[in-house]
């Protein structure tokens, strides 16, 4: 057949001059079709290989290898995991649907994946306590990479061993009981009096913003000598407000997102801190006037333990932690008091008795008076139990850990879930009810326990716990003895999973005669 075609083509060539071009065109067309087919097959093969690789990756992701039995649960989609469900809004004080649904399905210990990392979530009091007690042995403090970017690679939560203990001792110079008695109690009392008097002169006040400003002005002054009238520090509070708005948000760093606003707030706040450090390092004769000056002194030692990066990240975390968590707790506390007038009556009875026993009714709160506020202490415990400001406390397994019949692989994260304990009906009767009397007759909690961990637990029990309690007690004292109040608007809460008041909480204050 082939010789015949060659002969036919030759005969055509002798009679029709244009035929070679047609023949060549046909060959080119056939060749092009063949090449297109090969390319299509190659592309299809590559696509199939990619799909197979993706399926294998997804299978390996969802079927993690372990030397033992993993907790039940799902790791969700590769990389994304169950992050979207974790950040889903929850408009109540109740346990988030994310945790509640998984406890119902899998039990109090389950696996999930948040922002690309496999995590074991524990709502089990015994396991939580064990994790806290084994820090530095089987577990260490850990937070997802996005949190580390927010607070800095060398923030105090990411440091371990001797360095963490050293920083904790340093911070207790400011927030320890000795300084609370000597300095901070009277300054806190004065700040509460000034702020409440100022708010009473206004038609209404957005309480969360007002309390945040009050506490920030107080604590930032003790930390860095904060003065809002200084040009260099004027926008510092604004930067932290931007930082907080996106703190616990979906980690997408694109302009317009809450997370991007958070990162910009951090960057601008760090500029202020770096500038302050540079200015003070250049002035060796400057006396110690605030906590930052003590930190600078540590940096000037012949063989300092601190680095400038650790020092800056420490100051940033302290500025944030010193005001935001307490402001949120106090705001939801006033909301709960507004809804429970019986509790307000009992508080007034306790605090008016304190005033009657004073020589001067207008004098400030003393340490003895503060320690005598038994019912107030119960109210504070109940507020922080229901507020659940911290939705999760993270640790990382340093080795394979066998616990409760499960294996937590080395390198996996563990999220201790305080709200799941604080709202457990087997531990707290009618857990969503605001009932300070449930704490009556119980010893004062000075550290994390199996059933109460609002301030953390183990080695990392919050160093600002005493300051937070003093702030809340003095604020309540001044509020119930000098004012009555009513809600103007707002007060709705949303957890994503952090607590916020999307429409604010506006109240009007009325001075008492």
DSSP 119: E
Is 193 within a domain? Answer: yes
Given a contact cutoff of 8 angstroms between Cβ atoms, the answer to whether 510 and 200 are in contact is: yes
Query: Can you give the pLDDT at residue 413?
Result: 93
Label residues 317-353 b or e (16+ Cβ within 10 Å = b).
Answer: bbbbbbbbbbbbbbbbbbbbbbebeebbebbeebbee
Query: Can you give the pLDDT at residue 60?
Result: 56
Question: Phi first, then psi: what are they for 474, rounded to 5°?
Answer: -70, -35
Given a contact cutoff of 8 angstroms between Cβ atoms, the answer to whether 418 and 351 are in contact is: no
Q: Within 303-413, where are the H helices?
A: 308-339, 341-356, 367-371, 374-387
**Residues flagged as binding site:** 462
Is 411 within a domain? Answer: yes
395 vs 418: CA distance, rounded Å: 13
**Residues flagged as binding site for heme:** 462
Query: Can you give the pLDDT at residue 500?
Result: 87
Residue 12, Cβ density class (10 Å: 0-12 exposed, 13-18 middle, ≥19 buried): middle
Residue in the block written with tokens 């450090």: 277
Sites in the chain below the pLDDT cut of 50: 1-19
Query: 418 is written with which tokens?
Result: 């305080």
Q: Is 124 helix (H, G, I), strand (E, B) or coil?
A: coil
**Residues forming beta bridges with residue 414, ordered by sequence position:** 120, 395
Residue 124, Cβ density class (10 Å: 0-12 exposed, 13-18 middle, ≥19 buried): buried
Is 34 within a domain? Answer: no
Closest to 187 in 3D by CA, of 218, 225, 146, 141: 218
**Strands 413-416 and 393-397, sheet pairing:** antiparallel
Is 221 within a domain? Answer: yes
Closest to 121 in 3D by CA, of 84, 74, 78, 155: 74
Is 136 within a domain? Answer: yes
Q: Please give the residue range of the domain that contains residue 326.
A: 114-511
Residues in CB range of 362: below 8 A, 6 or more apart: none
Q: Within 10 A of 199 (CB to CB), how many other CB atoms are there?
A: 20
416 vs 127: CA distance, rounded Å: 9
Query: Can you give the pLDDT at residue 13?
Result: 39
One-letter-per-residue 3-state SS of 463-507: CCHHHHHHHHHHHHHHHHHHEEEEEEEECCCEECCCEECCCCEEE
Cα–Cα distance list, 124 to 239, 404, 459 (Å): 38, 10, 19
Query: Can you give the pLDDT at residue 238?
Result: 80
Helix-then-strand count for the chain, H and E: 19, 12
Is 21 within a domain? Answer: no
Q: How many domains does the chain have?
A: 1
Query: Can you give the pLDDT at residue 54?
Result: 60
Is 493 within a domain? Answer: yes
Closest to 497 in 3D by CA, of 123, 152, 142, 98: 98
Query: Can you give the pLDDT at residue 166?
Result: 87
Closest to 365 in 3D by CA, of 375, 354, 374, 376: 354
Query: Can you give the pLDDT at residue 364?
Result: 93
Given a contact cutoff of 8 angstroms between Cβ atoms, the answer to whether 344 and 480 are in contact is: yes
- Transcribe 412-472 into DSSP letters: -EEEE-HHHHHT-TTTSSSTTS--GGGGTTPPPP-S--SS--TT--GGG--TTHHHHHHHH
Using a cut of 0.75, tell me whether the model's pTM lies above it: yes
Query: Can you give the pLDDT at residue 163?
Result: 83
Given a contact cutoff of 8 angstroms between Cβ atoms, the answer to whether 99 and 110 are in contact is: no
Given a contact cutoff of 8 angstroms between Cβ atoms, the answer to whether 372 and 359 are in contact is: no
Q: Is 130 helix (H, G, I), strand (E, B) or coil?
A: helix
At 392, which CATH number? 1.10.630.10
Query: Can you give the pLDDT at residue 247?
Result: 65
Residue in the block written with tokens 């299978």: 59
Query: Can you give the pLDDT at residue 6?
Result: 39
Query: 468 is written with which tokens?
Result: 């937070």
Is 213 within a domain? Answer: yes
């Amino acid at each position: 057949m082939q010789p015949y075609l060659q002969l036919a083509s030759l005969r055509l060539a002798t009679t029709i001059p244009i035929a070679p071009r047609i023949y060549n065109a046909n060959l080119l067309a056939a060749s092009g079709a063949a090449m297109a087919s090969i390319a299509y097959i190659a592309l299809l093969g590559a696509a199939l290989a990619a799909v197979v690789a993706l399926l294998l990756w997804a299978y390996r992701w969802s079927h993690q290898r372990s030397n033992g039995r993993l907790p039940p649960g799902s790791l969700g989609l590769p990389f994304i995991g169950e992050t979207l469900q974790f950040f889903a809004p929850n408009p109540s004080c109740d346990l988030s649907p994310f945790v509640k649904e998984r406890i119902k399905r899998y039990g109090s210990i389950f696996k999930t994946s948040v922002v690309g990392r496999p995590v074991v979530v524990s709502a089990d009091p015994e396991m939580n306590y064990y994790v806290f007690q084994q820090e530095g042995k089987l577990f260490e403090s850990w937070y997802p990479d996005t949190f580390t970017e927010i607070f800095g690679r060398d923030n105090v939560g990411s440091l371990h061993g001797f360095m963490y203990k050293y920083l904790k001792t340093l911070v207790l110079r400011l927030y320890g009981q000795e300084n609370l008695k000597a300095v901070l109690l009277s300054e806190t009392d004065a700040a509460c009096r000034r702020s409440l008097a100022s708010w009473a002169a206004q038609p209404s006040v957005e309480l969360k913003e007002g309390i945040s400003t009050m506490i920030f002005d107080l604590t930032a002054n003790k930390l860095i000598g904060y003065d809002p009238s200084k040009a260099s520090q004027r926008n510092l509070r604004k930067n932290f407000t931007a930082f907080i708005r996106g703190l616990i948000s979906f980690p997408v760093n694109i302009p317009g997102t809450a997370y991007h606003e958070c990162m910009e707030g951090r960057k601008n706040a760090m500029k202020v801190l770096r500038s302050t450090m540079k200015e003070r390092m250049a002035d060796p004769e400057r006396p110690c006037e605030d906590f930052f000056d003590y930190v600078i002194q540590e940096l000037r030692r012949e063989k300092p333990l601190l680095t400038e990066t650790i020092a800056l990240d420490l100051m940033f975390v302290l500025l944030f932690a010193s005001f935001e968590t307490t402001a949120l707790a106090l705001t939801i506390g006033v909301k709960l008091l507004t809804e429970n007038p019986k509790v307000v009556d009992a508080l007034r009875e306790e605090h008016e008795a304190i005033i009657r026993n004073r020589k001067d009714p207008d004098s400030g709160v003393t340490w003895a008076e503060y320690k005598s506020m038994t019912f107030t202490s119960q109210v504070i415990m109940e507020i922080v139990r229901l507020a659940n400001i911290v939705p999760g406390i993270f640790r990382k397994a340093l080795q394979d850990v066998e616990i409760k019949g499960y294996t937590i692989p080395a390198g996996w994260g563990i999220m201790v879930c305080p709200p799941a304990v604080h709202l457990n009906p087997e531990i707290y009767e009618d857990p969503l009810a605001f009932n300070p009397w449930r704490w009556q007759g119980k010893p004062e909690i000075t550290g994390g326990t199996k059933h109460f961990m609002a301030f953390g637990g183990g080695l990392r029990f919050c160093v600002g716990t005493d300051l937070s309690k003093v702030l809340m007690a003095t604020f309540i004292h001044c509020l119930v003895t000098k004012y009555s109040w009513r809600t103007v608007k707002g007060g709705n809460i949303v957890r994503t999973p952090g607590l916020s008041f999307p429409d604010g909480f506006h109240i009007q204050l009325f001075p008492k005669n």
